[in-house]
Amino acid sequence: MPAGIFITATDTGIGKTVVAAGFAMALKARGMRVGVMKPVATGCASYGTRLISYDAAYLFEAAENEYAPLTSPVRFRNPVAPSVASVYEQRPIDLEEIDKAFRRLQSFYDFVVVEGIGGLLVPIKGKYLVANLIRDMGIPLIIVSHSSLGAINHTLLTIDSALIRGFLIKGIIFNRAPLVNYSLAEMTNPRVIHELSGVPVLGSLPNMDDLSVEKCRFGKLREVFMERVNVDSILN
């Protein structure tokens, strides 16, 4: 089966989209055909009768994909958990549609980068969580976290939740890590998390003023990602 990775995070707004896009661009630089997917998106923008996920569009452009409907099969307007948005917008979520889109992307590309929504325990449909989606896809995951105060607890909880379910964790990427004027917590948290969990730290990405998900600007994301993240450890 073609390879893939699931990008999850300790919370919403941590930077999964930037990490997923950066990884896709790094793989493309190696000559790989990379598919991308945001299976479920909420908080989408309305353009007439269409709903557009900025996250999915960012991934689609980063990977230069050809199959937009497969990249973003389920979209909602309200910025809430998918199970809640589905009820309020009176549109049921078809889990089979998500699975078919993922399998088709696997057949078209060498590697598929999937970005989740929120964290592992976000409900998609009823008691079907993001964690259930990862299990059904059968791919390992990367955890995106912050390095500031609270990161130890948030990250270890996510790791425990993944390990209890038997998931393979490729590693942790810390996003928006300060390069200067960092606090003691930001300086020490990555090391403490690694020591307590045994999960590899794959690297860290700094704040990048030249990129914007909403405006689809990538700046030097590819170069920074390749320089600061251990891509080989993810692929091996």
**Which amino acid is located at 168 in the chain?**
L
Is pLDDT above 80 for 29?
A: yes
Name the average pLDDT for the chain: 96
Interatomic CA distance for residues 101 and 127, integer angstroms? 21
* pLDDT attached to residue 105: 96
CATH superfamily name and code, 3-235:
P-loop containing nucleotide triphosphate hydrolases (3.40.50.300)
Can you tell me which residue has the tokens 């941590």?
Answer: 14
d(CA 188, CA 148) in angstroms, rounded, equals: 9
Please check the confidence at residue 199 and state whether its pLDDT lies above 60: yes
List alpha helices for 64-203, DSSP H.
68-71, 82-88, 95-108, 130-137, 151-164, 184-197
Average pLDDT over residues 37-66: 95
| pLDDT tens digits along 112-125 | 999 999 999 999 99
Looking at residue 2, its pLDDT comes to 53
Residues noted as catalytic: 38
- pLDDT one-digit tens code per residue, 172-195: 999 999 988 899 999 999 999 999
- Provide the greatest CA pair distance for the chain: 50
Domain boundaries, the chain: 3-235
pTM of full prediction above 0.85: yes
Helical (H) or strand (E) element with 30:
none
pLDDT at position 1? 46
Cα angle value 151/157/161 (rounded, 5°): 145
